[in-house]
Structure 1
Amino acid sequence: MSVGAANVRGMAIGSNIDTFAGLRVRRFRRGERGRGVAWRISVDYEAPEDRFARELDNLIDSVGGVNVEALVIGQWGESYDSAPPLHLLVAARDRLPNLRALFVGEMTYEECEISWIHHGDIAPLLAAFPRLEVLRIRGSEGLRLSPVRHRRLRELAVEAGGLPGAFVRGFADSSFPALQELELWLGIAEYGGDVTVEDLAPILGGADLPALRRLALRNAEIADQVAEALAAAPVVARLEELDLSLGALSDAGAAALLLGQPLTHLRRLDLSHHFMSADVAGRFAEELPGVRVDTSDEQAIDEDGFRYVSVTE
């Protein structure tokens, strides 16, 4: 479910997705019919306040709520100044009985910079849709997660230029026994990314995530500290995929991973967009011959000694 390199360009997300949750994305227009697609709803940022509500109603009426399996929500108006109208989805829950996948905030930088996209508490949304299996969120300004239990969610991803530590702590206080994939873009402090390794400790311990098979801690300014923690993290032993891409991983973090617990059981290790030296990056392929290792997109430390993550503003 991760956003590939083709969608991430120059520290910004430059194109809309074509597929979501295994389905082709199709922009909804009034009168459309069909099923087996991920319907995209988006309104102009200057649209009247009730425009999104009317678009959602039109979608449900035209397509038939029972035929809506996946929704992709783009702009809902002034997304840089207001949280998405999740209350409208919550109110429509009985009309969307088969919704299993939802992407909130699927916008390019031209529509709204990722670190400007506002959100609120997503717990009511999860409570309203107990059959939801995939939830992806872009943006994290004001993003919260009150403690919640969800038995069916398999994939959760938050794309951010700076992820609030409060969200991660809320996740740790919640229960997701079916979660197989967790993807968090930690971002940088300048844009609110104040997640610490201590915040991540319950995730790295893995005790409350029995089904987790893919862990992605991407776009991280603190990639070296995360790598050092992963070197001894209990959750790693049962992962199939580990992803530290888009971040500021250097030789220090890489060395910790290489000296830590075995990684030979992984199917895939993604370290792309990194600041490792060629020699250190090459050791991963040498020492993990049965693992698909990606050390592409080597970056250079700038003249002031800074290492930049891929997506910030």
Structure 2
Amino acid sequence: MTIGVHLQELHGLPAFDFPGADAKSGELPDPASVAWRIGVDAYESEEAWQDAFARFAAAVDTTKVRALIVGAWSDVYDSGPDEVFAALLGARERLPELRALFVGDITFEECEISWINQGDVTPLLDGFPELEEFGVRGGMGLGFGAARHERLRTLVVESGGLPAEVVRGVASCELPSLENLDLWLGTSGYGGDAELADLEPFLAGTRLPELRCLALRNSEIQDEIAAALAAAPVVARLEVLDLSMGTLGDQGAAALLEGQPLTHLRKLDLHHHFVSEPMAERIRGSLEPSGVSVDLDDEQEPWDDDEDNGRFTAVAE
């Protein structure tokens, strides 16, 4: 699977593409009614992202904007977003109502996820203390320091390979209001070298006191993660557990079933998996009668010619 479409919404608002420099002028929506996506051509754009943002700020009452989506910047496969971040931070006084920000809404046709050049996003969290949702796509060059953010409720980090230092950086953050954490851990071939020890702060349940939805997904160590979650204290207070998009097989699924009760969950998401049908039926039979929504869609078959177990994550390159 590749990411072939842009975000359709953010913060409950429909995404709207701010017109390019050569677009015919037309009526723009109410500033608070949409999530504004600002992007330029990913390959040799004639307009820099910060110039597109300047046009946006001149055309829209930014004091009412609630959600921003950063699309591609020029040469995203070769250049980081330093100037993008500088433009956003330079305009923070003009964005008092901003509650949601996503950086890197870039499809595979613009740049494959593991080739997106990212940067240190910590200043964005520090600079926008009223944010409730923050997301970023791409792990190469991504930095995530030990930030403290009082209001953030949702944090999403999408990658084909998430470096362990980034995972540890997220784990070190003080996020007392965070309810939804979504990490795409990826594969070692694209920099995803996090181990179970790096995930321990999330599993122990001693941090993130408001956490209700935990996604540790798109991982090549999905069985190990499942086994660790079988006894992880955090699970008891979750409503949604998401281990989708990875290499989960019967071993990990059995560990989940044989561990602590999961019948309190609202949803268990395991889509894109390598679980056999008998094991899938065991999971459904154990949880669905208690009202748990179980997603076991998108069953995969291992590659026959792979030297390892032939399993693969949904998103890698």
Counterpart position of 2:15: 25
Deviations 1:29-70 (A, max 9, x none): 26635221000101112125x621121122122111112110
| Whole-angstrom distance in 2 between the partners of 1:283 and 1:14 | 34
Counterpart in the other structure of 1:306: 310
Letter of the 2:313 counterpart: V
Q: Distance in 1 between matches of 2:133 and 2:152?
A: 6
Equivalent residue number for residue 8 of structure 1? none
CA distance in structure 2 between the partners assigned to 1:157 and 1:216 by the alignment? 9
After TM superposition, the score normalised by the length of structure 2 is 0.93
Aligned residue for 1:3? none
The residue aligned with 1:60 is: 57
The aligned counterpart of 1:5 is none
Separation of aligned partners in 1, 2:137 and 2:145? 18
Match of 1:16 among 3, 6, 21: 6
2:79 corresponds to 1:82: yes
Q: Which residue of 2 aligns with 1:218?
A: 217
1:153 aligns with 2:152: yes
Greater displacement, 229-238 / 298-307: 298-307
- Cα deviation for residue 15 of structure 1 reads 1.1
The reply on whether 1:135 has 2:131 as its aligned counterpart is no
DSSP-derived class of the 2:101 partner: strand
What is the correspondence of 1:89-238 to structure 2 with a 5 Å cutoff? 89-238=88-237
User: How many Å separate the matches in 2 of 1:146 and 1:258?
Assistant: 35
User: What is the aligned partner in structure 1 of residue 298 from structure 2?
Assistant: 297
The one-letter code matched in structure 2 to 1:112 is C
Between the aligned partners of 2:171 and 2:177, the Cα distance in structure 1 is 14
Residue type of the alignment partner of 2:311: R
Q: CA deviation at 1:240?
A: 0.2
Aligned to 1:237, the other structure's residue is in SS state helix
Structure 1 match to 2:283: 284
Of residues 282-291 and 180-189 in structure 1, the stretch that sits farther from structure 2 once superposed is 282-291
Alignment partner, residue 34 of structure 1: 30
Give the total of aligned pairs. Answer: 302
Q: CA offsets, 1:48-96, max 9 Å, x none?
A: 5x62112112212211111211011111111112222212111111011
The alignment-based identity, stated in percent, is: 53
Runs of 4 or more, structure 1, over 4 Å off, are none
Q: Secondary structure at the match of 2:68?
A: strand
1:25–1:39 CA contact under 8 A, matched in 2:
yes
When structure 1 is superposed on structure 2, of 299-308 and 123-132 the one drifting more is: 299-308
Q: Cα offset for 1:17?
A: 2.1
Unaligned runs of 5+ in 2: none
CA distance in 1: counterparts of 2:37 and 2:119, whole angstroms: 21
| 3-state SS in 2 of match to 1:183 | strand
Across the aligned residues of Structure 1 and Structure 2, the Cα RMSD in angstroms comes to 1.2
Write the letter of the residue equivalent to 2:265. L
Gaps of 5+ in 1: 1-10
**Normalising by the residue count of structure 1, what TM-score does the alignment of the two structures yield?**
0.94
Measured in 1, the distance between the counterparts of 2:117 and 2:228 equals: 30
